[in-house]
Every structure is written in C-alpha cells, then in structure tokens.
Structure 1
Amino acid sequence: MKKACIGVYLAGALASTTAAAQSSVTLYGIVDVAMQYTNHNLAAGGKSSGSIFSLVSGGAQTSRWGLRLREDLGNGYAAVAVLENGFDATKGTANNSGRLFGRSSYVGISSPYGQLTMGRQTTGVYDFGLTFDAVGPALYSAVSFDPAFVGRADNSAKYTGNFDVLGGKLMVEQLYSFGYDSVTGAGPVAGAFRVGKQVSFFSTYNYGIGTLGLLFDQQNGNTVALQDVKTQRYGVAASLDLNSLHLYAAYRFYAQKQPGQNLYSSLYWVAARYQVSPFLNISSDLFYQEDRNTGQGNPLMLSVLGSYLLSKRTDVYVQLGTTFNKAHTNLGLTGFGTVTTGAIQTGAMVGLRTHF
C-alpha cells in the first residue's frame, strides 16, 4: 500500500514538473514619471491660467504592471492570457476609469493559424497608431488629436493572423465588441444589440524595407438613445525601414454619422525615428488636421522625443511639443479644449522610465 502511494506521489510530481516546463507566467511592468512645463493652459471659466509646472505619469509610456501567461497545448497550440493594469505613478491610482486591469484583460488560444482572444483588448485604431506614429504612445502624439489612438474595447473577440503572401508578410487583425465600454456606458443591452457595438479591422503588409497599413473602425453609440450614431475611422499609412532611420506617413479620416448632420475631419502626419547610437533614439511627429465641420478647426502640432539608455532597463527622456492654433481652434498637447483659443502652446518634459 505504501509503495502504491509513493508511486502515485512520484507520478503526480513528475506530471507537475512537466506541466511547469511547458508553461510560463511572466510579471512585467513600466514605471514612468516626468516633470512637465506647459503654457497657455485653460482654467475654469475659460480663461488662461498661464504656465504650469507639474509631475506627470506616463510621459513616454503609460505606467503599468501585468501578468502574461502561456501554456503549451502541443502541436503548435497554446493557451494565452494577459492581465495588465495601468496606473498613475504620481498618485498610485488606477487609470481606465478605475478598472483593475484596464489596459488588457483577455484569454485565448494561439495556433499555427493565428490567435483568437476574448476580453478587454486594444482596438485596431490603437494598433494602427502604435505601428505608424513614431512618438506614440507618448503624450505628445496622435493621442492629442484623437483619444481613440489609446482605445480599448470591453466584451471583445479578436483574431490576429500572420501569413506569407507574395514574398512578403501579411498581418490581419479583426476585432468585434458586444459593448466596448461597460463601465461608463451601458454595455450590452437586451433587445438593443447595437448599443456599444464596435467592429475594427487593421492590416499591414511588409515587403523588404516597406510596410503598408490599412484601418477601418466603427463604433455605435454607447447608450440606448445614441445606439444609431456611428463613429467611423479609416486609415492608410506607409513606413520605410532604412536600418537606423525609420520614416512614416499616415492619414486618418473621421466620420460621425448621426441624425441631422454628419461630421467629418481628416488627420495627416509624417514622422521619423532615428537611432543615433545604441543608447540614443530620437523620434519626431508633424501633424495637421483638416476639419470639415466638427468645429475643431485646422491646428498643427510638432513633437520630438529623445531617449537615452542608462542601462538595459532604464532610460531618461526629453519630450518637446508645440501646438499651433488659429483664431478659432484650441488644441493643446493633451487634447482639444485644454488651451486658450488661438494660443500657441509649448510643452517640455524630462522623465525617467524603468522596465521590469
């Protein structure tokens, strides 16, 4: 009897050891804090409050911590999961409307035919910006014009596949959400399936030094009353990889289709990223918005981000940005409506970022 128990115990221990060898759990994160200066900031009542010195979290990348899980299922299949929390390192509070895992919270299956995941995940707009915005997702980037460039969707299923096509690499990403915001919005509603529905498609094709990208994203209104309002984003972009120098050009078309009058605007940008040395990188963006009737006008923004590695995990960075407004526009480095109308806002920050 004792020998049988010992045999069962050894078999169980061996099985546990084998399972552990085929599985991995990774704890990772970023802590990023910077000292920032901006001028022409808008105060309560719509008056200029002048210049502000402050500490900001996530100047270059959002502060975060997360868990990444992967279990080998054999024959090229694996179970995957990610839980990722975003937080404000200057206050210790959670981002993303207080969600515990607001940046990512999903589980799925990876296979030779692609990966299918379910949960809260990044949208095609986010991935489009991450691929073709040289400064993004830093604060002075495409996010200043459109918060969707850091967008995520609750209740979503997402497929990502990579294929060899005509000698190049084709990436296809498709997302469908049953309710992209169940915290501040209504989320899925019985009998009103259009509430909060989101469809997102993003694809890239890489051949040699060139990469092309295409984007389509559509969201329905996030309440029962607004479920028939459709917000659409179309994008096309290209990049060139010249070893130490990367060049980018992109276009995003915005359309909000609603009763009464549809709203339209276009956003153009060119960008570059240059690796000066193994320790020093410099990136720059130049944006221009052409507005048809959204009321935001046609502002221009220039941003520069320089990063110097102190070690493999830690760097110090400097970020500079300027928004050029006309008499009726009010784009600030952190978005529309944050500066005095017609003002030219200048911002600068020096930050420290460490990875673990």
Structure 2
Amino acid sequence: MNNKKDHLSRRPFPAALVLAIAAAGATTAISARAQGSVTLYGIVDAGIAYVHNAQGASGQNQSTLVKLSSGNLSGSRWGLRGSEDLGNGLAAIFQLENGFNVGTGALGQGSREFGRKSIVGLASATWGTLTLGRQYDPLVDLVQPVTADGPFGGVFGTPGDLDNYDNSLRVSNSVKYTSPVVAGLQFEALYGFGGVAGATGSGQTYSFGAAYSNGPLSLAAGYFFANGGSTLTSGVRTWASSSDSLFNTVINQGFASASSIQIVRAGGSYAVGALSFGLAYSNTQYADDAYSTFHQTAKFNSGSAFLNYQATAALRAGVGYNYTSLTGPASAHYNQVNLGGGYSLSKRTDLYALAGYQKASGRTLDAKGASVAAQASIGDFGVSAGADNQALVVVGIRHKF
C-alpha cells in the first residue's frame, strides 16, 4: 500500500497544469507590481568643519574646534516609502525615515528609530492627502522651500534655528491634511494630540499654511503653535509637547521653560534665468507662565535674504544674510552672513563648501533666568561660541541613493 502511494506521488503533473500555475503566478506578480510599490532611499552627508570660537569644556573659554560634521546640507537618513493603488484615484501611502550621524552611527532626533518621519495615510490627486504619525508641520513643507535652506542647508538658517527654519522639530501623534495644487495654490493644516486625559490642550500642537507658485514666483506663509505641556521638574516646566522643542543653543535656551511656542513665517522667492533671490520674515514668541524661569513673553523677529546663482548645470553658489532681534525679558541682536557653493559630480553625488559669520550684541537669559551677555551660534549648526562672535567653514560630500 505504501509502495502504491509512493508510486502515485512520483507521477508528473500534466504539462497544461504546470503552465497554468506558472501563468497565474506571473499574473499575480505583475498585478502586485502595478498596484503598489516600496522604495528604499537615503542621503549620506558628511564633512570637515572648522569653527572659530566654540565653547570649551569649562563652559566659559573660547576655543577653535575642528570636527567631522554630519548632515551639513541635508540630514543624513535612510527610509522606506510606498503606496498601494486602491482604485478610483485613491492610494494608501506610508513613509518611515530614520536619521543618523555619519561620524558615529548614532540615531538622531532623540535616538528614535524613525525620528525624521513615520506616517501612514491616504492620497488622492483630486481630494488631497491625509496622513497620521510623526511628521513635518506646514511651515516646513510650504515656507522652507522658498528660503536658502534648500540648496545650502541649516548653516544659512536663523540663529539657533529658533523659528524652525531648518526643521529642528517634528510633530508626533499628529494628523495632517495637504490639499492638491489648484491654479498654483496649495494649503496644509496639522493637529498634534497632547494625549493628556482631562486636559485636551496640554501638549497640543496646531499649524496651518499656504503656498502659491506661478512661473518664477513663489510665495508662502504659515502659523504654528505648540503648548509646552504640564510636566514640572523642581517646579519649573520641562517641555512635554506633541511638538519637539526648539531650545537647543545659547540663542534661546533661556526660554526652555516656555508655556508655548508661537511662530508666524512668510517668505518669497523669484527666479530670473540662472539667478534666484528671496526674502523671508518670522515672528517667534515664547510665552511665560507661573512655571517659567522668565516672566515676560520673549519675542524674536527675524528677517533674511538670499541670492543664488546656478553658474552651470553642475556649479552653484549663494550668499545669505540674517538679522534677528530679541525683545521682552531681554534685548539682544544677531547679524549673520553666509556663503555657499556646490559642485555636482553626478546626479546623486556632490561636493560643497559653506561659510558663515555671526555677531551677537546685547543681553539674553540663561537657563536659570539670569541676565547674561548674548553669545553667537551660527544657523542650525548647533555650536555655542562662548563669545559674541563666531566663524565657521565646512567642506563636505553628499551622496543620495
């Protein structure tokens, strides 16, 4: 009996059946490819930086700093993004994006696995896109593209990136709607849940913005508000919001106990042949309450201008200027100039050089609310000067895949 079963099991399949199974498998594979896709992508950006005036180990002396610097033009990252066609112009989408330091391999964005972005949602060419997760706010999506941040990165940014010029913050636990582009106009709205039972407003974030593009002209503006939450350490607020904080350097770390962040940003750019130039303005306010170490709303007004020149298909150059003033509990002023250049070796690899100089004046507050002399910190580079001026030069390479 067992021999009969063995004999039957060795009988070949009919040729027609084999061909039918193969054809069905091929059709399924082709259908899967047609209905959905997943893409692996990334950027690896690293360079050598020289900083004149960097706060030394004692926290007081000024030193020269030479270091390997990651993410100078673009934050180093790798990610996965994909979509599935659901029919009738509707698609399911997702994106997971990890940030890391090239020099050390360490995770970025607070050591999150997908700290740059993690979203899932639905997209329609007719109705727009709805996403949920950790993502950028409308000011980053719509206003940032008309600034010099795009071609030359955060070194050109506002001192200390105090207004999120270089997207230092993301919003977790958020839902965002992005409209389709209609006659050059697009708008976005975002809400981040605070997640505190019985206190809906604690830790919440909301933002909205709009952009218009018509040929060489691009304009954009937006509003951002984040509540700092109700977490206290020794009676002082510790930022606990659906939004990341912006208090990363000496420019604004004296206001880390703020009850909220409010940002209004607007910008525009215009292209004439190989030349493009633009202007931007932001008003950033850090509000105080009984749990803050400062006792008057801190207001930063910042204006910037840039001029970029695409000399050839491979060679580009740019110059930028930023003026920022602090009023309220203290009075300080920051003047910053920047230069940038880049050369494309291919569509995916380029070499670059960046330079900046910043001069600070007046007085600001330290983390304990005491009045101190204003220090310099160029753009979003994140190095405190320990002095009222700072100079920076970076040369590097960026590869996209």
Structure 2 length as normaliser, TM-score? 0.79
Moved more, 14-23 or 214-223: 14-23
C-alpha displacement of 1:294? 5.1
The residue number in structure 1 matching 2:159 is 144
In the aligned structure 1, how far is the partner of 2:381 from the partner of 2:102? 21
Matched, 1:189 2:196: yes
In structure 2, relative to structure 1, the CA distance for the partners of 1:128 and 1:21 (3 Å cut) is: closer
2:326 to 291, 303, 317: 291
Say whether the 8 Å CA contact 2:146–2:269 is kept in structure 1: yes
Could you say what secondary structure the match of 2:27 adopts?
helix
Matched, 1:174 2:209: no
C-alpha displacement of 1:311? 1.4
The residue number in structure 1 matching 2:42 is 29
In the aligned structure 2, how far is the partner of 1:271 from the partner of 1:246? 8
Q: Aligned-residue CA RMSD in angstroms? A: 2.4
In the aligned structure 2, how far is the partner of 1:133 from the partner of 1:296? 26
In the aligned structure 2, how far is the partner of 1:337 from the partner of 1:142? 13
In structure 2, relative to structure 1, the CA distance for the partners of 1:23 and 1:143 (3 Å cut) is: farther
In the aligned structure 2, how far is the partner of 1:134 from the partner of 1:7? 58
In structure 2, relative to structure 1, the CA distance for the partners of 1:139 and 1:250 (3 Å cut) is: closer
The residue number in structure 1 matching 2:284 is 254
Could you say what secondary structure the match of 1:97 adopts?
coil
C-alpha displacement of 1:60? 1.1
Matched, 1:88 2:134: no
Could you say what secondary structure the match of 1:194 adopts?
coil
Say whether the 8 Å CA contact 2:154–2:381 is kept in structure 1: no
The residue number in structure 2 matching 1:114 is 128
Matched, 1:159 2:159: no
Identity rate, percent: 31
C-alpha displacement of 1:163? 3.5
C-alpha displacement of 1:252? 0.4
Amino acid at match of 2:222: L
Unaligned runs of 5+ in 1: 180-187
Say whether the 8 Å CA contact 2:143–2:266 is kept in structure 1: no
Say whether the 8 Å CA contact 1:212–1:239 is kept in structure 2: yes
In the aligned structure 2, how far is the partner of 1:311 from the partner of 1:224? 49
Could you say what secondary structure the match of 1:157 adopts?
strand
C-alpha displacement of 1:269? 0.4
The residue number in structure 1 matching 2:218 is 211
The residue number in structure 1 matching 2:391 is 346
Amino acid at match of 2:154: L
In the aligned structure 2, how far is the partner of 1:291 from the partner of 1:337? 19
C-alpha displacement of 1:335? 6.4
Say whether the 8 Å CA contact 1:248–1:272 is kept in structure 2: yes
Say whether the 8 Å CA contact 2:185–2:210 is kept in structure 1: yes
Amino acid at match of 1:298: H
C-alpha displacement of 1:247? 1.1
* Paired residues, number: 344
Q: Matches of residues 228-247 of structure 1 in structure 2 within 5 Å?
A: 229-247=259-277
Structure 1 length as normaliser, TM-score? 0.89
The residue number in structure 2 matching 1:184 is none
In structure 2, relative to structure 1, the CA distance for the partners of 1:135 and 1:28 (3 Å cut) is: same
Superposed CA offset, 1:51-73 (max 9, x none):
11110001111111111101112
Superposed CA offset, 1:106-147 (max 9, x none):
011111211111111011232355312214572312253325
Unaligned runs of 5+ in 2: 1-12, 242-257, 290-294, 363-372
Amino acid at match of 1:176: Y
C-alpha displacement of 1:339? 1.1
